[in-house]
Each structure stands twice: as C-alpha cells, then as structure tokens.
Copies of this chain bind each other. A is one copy, B any other.
Amino acid sequence: MNKSIKIFAPATVANLSCGFDVLGCCLDTVGDEMIISLTSNPEVKITKIDGANLPLETHKNVAGVAVEALLKAYKKEIGVTIEIYKKIKAGSGIGSSAASSAGAVWAVNYLLDSPFSSQELIAFAMEGEKLASGNAHADNVAPALLGGFTLVRSYKPLDVIKLNTPKDLMITVIHPQIEVKTSDSRSVIKHNVSLQQAIQQWGNVGGLVAGLFTEDYELIGRSLEDVIIEPLRSILIPEFTAVKEAALSSGALGCGISGSGPSIFALSKGDKTATLVADAIRNVYSKTGLKFDIHISKINNDGIKIIEV
C-alpha cells in the first residue's frame, strides 16, 4: 500500500452547449496538483492550500467533504491528509471545486488499493459539489474522474457513461476574470421550457453523442447548439456573442458557455485551429479592459493523473 501520492486533478467543461446538466469533458493542460497521504490518525485534515483562499476546515472544504463520504463507506478507521496546490481559479466555470473533490477521492481510493468503482467515486465527489454549489451535480466530477467525454444519463440511480473521444479534438477556453454570482446564473434559467425547444435540444444531444462515436467533426460542430440555456445565461458574460462569432469564423466546430460561466469554450479539430481560435477570442477580449486567461488543451482521455507515487 502506497502511503502518499501526488496527482494532477484536471479542469473540466460541463454542459457542452446542448448537454445542460448531463455532458462534460476533461482538460489536459489546466488542473490542480494535490498531495494525498494516508495516516493512522483517523481523521481527514486539509494541511495546506496553496494558490487560493479556501477553507482549511474539513467540513467546509470540498475535498474534505468528498473524502469523508468515501471513508464513511469504507468503514475501516483510517486518516487522510490533503495538500492542494490550486491552479484552477475558483468561480471560473471550469470545474475548480470538482477537480479538488474528484482528485481527493481518486487519490484515496488509489492509496487504499481501489476498493471503490468509478461510479462510486463520482458519488463521493458529488458530495463536494453539493457543498460548493448546493447541488450534487456530476457533470464536472464525472469527466475529471473518467476522462474524455462523459454523459450523466441519470441521477436516480446515478448512471454515468464514458463516451468516445475523437483524437484530433481540441478545446480552447477563455476565462474572463469577472465574478458571476451562482444565484444570478441560476435565476436567469426558467423552470419550464417549450416542448419544441426541448426536442431540438435532445436532437442535438443525440447528434453530439453520435458525432463523438463516429468521430464526425462536422456533426459534432452542428450539434453544439443550445437553444434553452445559452440565450438566457450568455447575457451575464461580456462579449459572449462577439467571442462566439470570432471562434466560429476562425474555424471552431462550436462554441458555448463552460458550465454556468463565465468561461467560454470552443471545440476545434486540430491544434492549429484551436490556436487560431485562441488568437481570435484574445483579440476580442483584449479590447474590453477586462482581465482574462486563455487555455488551449487536447481532450484529456485519462482524467486524473499520477505525478508521483
């Protein structure tokens, strides 16, 4: 049994336009680092957080809560210490809390010689998400844990499916460093939708899943359409329309809001196009006076990675 492990806990993009609350994918070049150790002292301790002002108290920290959910199911007395080197900015909309929750439970499971399945780890990590946002959603923790593209088919019971990842698929993400309150990004969403729009949306979900399996990049692009949430939420993101137009006219397959925003993602075929897309959206945002980060990444088909055992 290894006593300590250093891991890379990746950022993730949830929703992917049409797949509100069900689809997500995993990034490769953006993520936190975490050092997780087993101890004989039967408690969970956050011993260090670097790069972010987050609570060290276990029950207030998403990684702490997620690991406690795991240990409750494990039943044997064991202690865990967690160091978090935060590189994903909180509130960016690319799964900052999910990286911590998913990374922590993945590492503990590894150190315990994998008593739990991926589906079980997703459920534990969702407890962290519940702490972070009040809602135990899986659309970021699932791609962080499974890698690639994931579909949350059902929550009751939890049923998460790993989809196929076309090998040339690249993602470009812009994170405008503004704060969008979760309450605002929720309150713009309506509780009811027209059946007509719902049908369009599930047509696109079907198309996107089919496009991923058949590696039909054009179909993936055509399916990256959100007729329900994006028209409402995009008003909270400065220059969303200009960024989307710039991305599409630079060759992106599709472009939309990452999670609940404010980050915006674009999928492209090949790194050349992904870089052109990054240049084009940088050009839009550099005129705004707002601070922003831009990431280019291939889709990380592995999810969490071991840096050092």
> Chain A: residues with CB nearer than 8 A to chain B?
18-23, 151-154, 159, 161, 163-164, 189-196, 198-210, 213-214, 219, 222-223, 228
Which of B18, B151, B164, B201 touches A207 (beta carbons < 8 Å)? Answer: B151
Once the chains bind, are A223 and B192 in contact (CB under 8 Å)?
no
Give the chain B neighbours of A209 by CB distance below 8 A. Answer: 205-206, 209-210, 213
- Which residues of chain B come closer than 8 Å to A23, judged between CB atoms? 206
Whether A199 contacts B159 by the Cβ 8 Å rule is no
**Contact across chains for B203 and A151 when beta carbons are under 8 A apart:** yes
Q: Looking at the complex, which one of B153, B195, B219 makes contact with A192 (CB distance below 8 Å)?
A: B195
Chain B contacts for A222, CB-based, 8 A: 153-154, 159
B204 touches A154 (CB 8 A): yes
The reply to whether B194 and A22 form a contact with Cβ atoms under 8 Å apart is: no
Bound CA span A57–B213, Å:
45
**A141, chain B: closest CB distance, angstroms:** 16
CB distance from A222 to the nearest CB of B (A): 6
- A152 and B203 contact, CB distance less than 8 A: yes
Residues of B within 8 A of A153 (CB): 203-204, 206-207, 219, 222-223
Q: Can you list 13 A-B contacts with CB-CB less than 8 angstroms, sorted by A residue number?
A: A18-B202, A22-B203, A151-B207, A153-B204, A153-B222, A153-B223, A191-B196, A193-B193, A193-B194, A193-B198, A201-B202, A202-B205, A210-B213
- Chain B contacts for A195, CB-based, 8 A: 189-193, 228
* Distance in angstroms between the alpha carbons of A194 and B219 in the assembled complex: 28
**Please, which residues of chain B bring their CB within 8 A of the CB of A196?**
191
Q: Which residue of B lies closest to A214 (CB)?
A: B213
Residue on B nearest A196 in the bound complex, by CB: B191
Contact A154–B203 (Cβ < 8 Å): yes
Q: A159 contacts B22, CB within 8 Å?
A: no
Q: Which of chain B's residues have a CB closer than 8 A to the CB of A214?
A: 213
CB-based contact A154/B200 at 8 Å: yes
Contacts of A152 in B (CB 8 A): 203
Q: Nearest CB to that of A199 among chain B residues?
A: B21
In the complex, residue of chain B having the shortest beta-carbon distance to the beta carbon of A151: B206
Whole-angstrom CA separation of A117 from B212 in the bound complex: 24
For A223, the chain B residues whose CB sits under 8 A away are: 153
